[in-house]
Amino acid sequence: MPFMIDISGMKELQEKINKLKEKSQNAAAMALYEGARIVADEVGRSVQGITTEPFHYAKSGEKRKPSPEEKAAIVGSPHGVARFRKKLERIDTSVGWNHAGYVDVNWNHMNSKARTNYKAVNFKGSSHTASSTLKWIREQGGSEKYGLSQDIGRHAQNQKPVGAIANAINSGTSFMEKQPFMRKAFNRSKNEAVEKIEQELEKRIEEMIQD
């Protein structure tokens, strides 16, 4: 004997499933951000460990350490989590310096940024332009007081790209001693970051299901 089954709410279920896809991408992005933030914070701490010496040109066959001004340029520049990129079903981001094109360093020149609205955070922790940071360093007694080399602010004046300086210190060059502060920071923070992403994902998926 033939029989029929009525199922109600299929349309609503279908709509809910469709929304889940959209929501899951947002949840993944939010979780990724939480993890990336941990990495970015660690990079900020790692930068403080860069060792310096007064600026001098490296002799042939020798390498020099970064100057205090070069370190100051990195410390004083904003860094953080990049805009998220969506590639097919994948979402990814980078951590690093704004003017560096983030970790995968490109060679954007800070000059163009400086003419527009370049902001740097000086030693006092407040937001200033690159030139006002330089002015503040000079007002505080400049190079002699802080044991910095005489060409203080050289990088602010010449508008060297922060990304290039960071990259030269991190990877080393034929004239610059290598101090892989980025890799150290990634290594130190990766477990915590992955754990945080997992936690956030679990939390957000649970919220989505209950919604």
Partner 1 sequence: MPEEYTSLVSALKALTQGTAPDPVITLPMAENEWNTRPDADSYGIVALDFEADALYGDNLKQITAYEGSVDLFSRSKDGAGWVELIVATLTEYCEGAWSLNSHQYERENNIFHWEWVFQVEG
- Which residues contact partner 1 by CB under 8 A? 61, 167, 171-175, 178, 180, 183-184, 187
Choice between 136 and 186, CB closer to partner 1: 186
In the complex, what is the shortest distance from the CB of residue 178 to partner 1, in angstroms, rounded to a whole number? 7
CA–centroid distance for 10 within its chain: 46
Q: Compute, in degrees rounded to 10, the torsion defined by CA atoms 57, 63, 69, 73.
A: 120
In the complex, what is the shortest distance from the CB of residue 136 to partner 1, in angstroms, rounded to a whole number? 30
Choice between 8 and 60, CB closer to partner 1: 60
For residue 79, what are the β-bridge partners? Answer: 97
Choice between 86 and 183, CB closer to partner 1: 183
In the complex, what is the shortest distance from the CB of residue 191 to partner 1, in angstroms, rounded to a whole number? 9
Provide the phi-psi class of 195: left if phi over 0, else alpha when psi is between -120 and 50, else beta.
alpha
Token look-up 């002015």 returns 135
Choice between 22 and 104, CB closer to partner 1: 104
In the complex, what is the shortest distance from the CB of residue 7 to partner 1, in angstroms, rounded to a whole number? 52
- Comparing CA positions, the residue from 44, 82, 40, 24 lying closest to residue 200 is 24
In the complex, what is the shortest distance from the CB of residue 206 to partner 1, in angstroms, rounded to a whole number? 31
- Comparing CA positions, the residue from 122, 127, 84 lying closest to residue 102 is 84
Choice between 52 and 143, CB closer to partner 1: 52
**Which ranges constitute the DSSP H helices of 120-175?**
130-139, 142-146, 154-158, 162-171
